[in-house]
Amino acid sequence: MKHIHFIGIGGTGLSAIATVLLEQGYTVSGSDLTESNLFDAVKKAGGSVTLGHRAENIAGADLVVRSSAIPENNVEVQAALAAEIPVLKRSEFLGQMLADKEILAVAGSHGKTTTTSMLVWILSRLDLDPSFIVGGVVSNLGTNARSGEGDQFVIEADEYDYMFWGLNPDWAVITNVEHDHPDIFPTSQSFAEAFEGFVKNLKTGGSLVLCGEDPGALRLKDLLSADQNLVIYGFTGSEWDYQAENLKINLSAGTDFEIRINLEGQESILPLSLQVPGEHNVLNALAAFAVADGLGLDRQDIARVLGEFQGSERRFDIRGEYQGVMIVDDYAHHPTEIMKTLQAARNGYPTKRIWAVWQPHTYSRTTTLFDGFCGSFEMADRVVVLDVFPAREQKPADFRISDLVSSIQHDAVQHVPGIDQAVELLKKELRPADLLLVFTAGDAIEINDQIEKYLSAQAGF
């Protein structure tokens, strides 16, 4: 078996690929600049992982795969090229990796991790034993990747750096198309065109599953050829194939509803009860249901198993309740995601005082989607804004965090520059029956880590 080396192995995408390859018997090595849970998971699975990038790390490799965040001048990339070892991006490698599988790909600006996780759970629970790669840990399974014995490969189709153009899916789900990643896609049009390219790679006879509630997704139906299938799901279209009706919040703060299925002139209705909160998760469940139904699984079984779904890591991920304070991690870093998550929190926990602690992610996203962010926090009671997590970007000379904070449409918003200051503020002001919701795609998850430890050590307030 080949020896494959990954540069950036601690990221969600490459760590998942590495895990699958290890289970298939490949020799896997990799490097990253920082340690993380996923970095450690690859090590535990048998990979040889190294902190820091050095030329000698590629020794013995037959192939090198690099993260989108790794530049051409990286020392390991250059060492591989000098040694005439092929260097591929993730998108280039995935096409080879999935060649013999039935590919179920889930794309979209929001909801793709949860929808992919739901689909993975359904197929796993109903004994199809799929292979999968997800951009977050599937809570029911405790992992973000697996090499299964079944015919299906379920994959979260990431648009960043056009990764999903490397896929030729049999099933393509698109949850929504709303401008994001302005560092790669400077305009809404360029972002939409990326999804058009993804749809054009759908196999002959393949199925495109679109959310009818999203205009950007719905526009993609015109790209289908006569020998491809269209499936539409949502709330409001009576002619759509899968429709959710009669939504009610249940005792788990999730949603009870009915699915109306209208296929080939035959209509049926069945109940479903979700544990995960929010109307956006009802739509995610509809998408997963539609694919599983299309694969021929029993509808009652699909509904039952979806009712067991416990969510995905860092997607309204409830860590627990400490001294009466519910602590929640969330990866939301787009205005729509923040707004929908806060709405779900408000609907599911109407008596709690909701703290929204937000670490903006990248200057390009914060400035491009500025107006959207400023209107996203209405459902919170208190809003705390940290400094921007820059990731790969430099701070623009004209960027001022005070301009952002003063423009947020909320009466109780304040800025604290860093994690330590936010922790000190929360230690002083958190009260029983509060809900602490930290929004971060950066390192601010440390806030919840520290608050959890602090509250756990307290005898009371």
Cα 317 to Cα 178, 314, 445: the distances in Å are 23, 5, 11
pLDDT score for 107: 96
3-class secondary structure, 250: coil
CA 329 vs. chain centroid, Å, equals 13
pTM score: 0.86
Which residues, including other chains, have CB under 8 Å from residue 58's CB and lie 6 or more apart? 5, 29, 64, 76, 79, 80, 83, 85
Catalytic residue among 12, 115, 156, 213: 156
3-class secondary structure, 197: helix
pLDDT score for 461: 45
Specify whether 113 is catalytic.
yes
Specify whether 112 is catalytic.
yes
pLDDT score for 459: 58
Q: What is the spatial order of strands in the sheet that 255-263 belongs to? A: 143-146, 131-138, 152-156, 102-107, 171-174, 207-211, 229-234, 242-249, 255-263, 266-273
Tokens 């009870």: give the residue.
256
Catalytic residue among 19, 113, 115, 368: 113
Task: Dig out the tokens for 83 from the structure.
Answer: 């040694």
pLDDT score for 392: 80
Nearest to 277 by CA among 303, 299, 234, 248: 248
Q: Answer for the pair 31, 52: CB distance below 8 angstroms, yes or no.
A: yes
Specify whether 50 is catalytic.
no
E strand or H helix at 213: none
Residue 458, Ramachandran bin (φ over 0: left; ψ between -120 and 50: alpha; else beta): beta
Q: Answer for the pair 112, 307: CB distance below 8 angstroms, yes or no.
A: no
pLDDT 10s digit of each residue in the chain, 461 long?
Answer: 599 999 999 887 888 899 889 998 999 999 998 888 888 889 988 999 999 999 999 999 999 999 877 888 999 999 999 999 999 988 788 877 888 899 999 999 999 999 999 999 999 999 999 999 998 889 899 888 898 999 999 999 988 878 889 899 999 999 999 998 888 888 999 999 999 999 999 999 999 999 999 999 999 999 999 999 999 999 987 789 999 999 999 988 899 999 999 998 788 999 999 999 989 999 999 999 999 999 999 999 999 999 999 988 888 888 888 989 999 999 888 999 999 999 999 998 999 999 999 999 999 999 999 999 999 999 999 999 999 999 888 899 989 999 999 999 999 999 999 999 999 999 999 999 999 999 998 889 999 999 999 998 875 54
Domains along the sequence of the chain with CATH: 3-89 (3.40.50.720), 98-306 (3.40.1190.10), 317-456 (3.90.190.20)
pLDDT score for 238: 75
pLDDT score for 242: 97
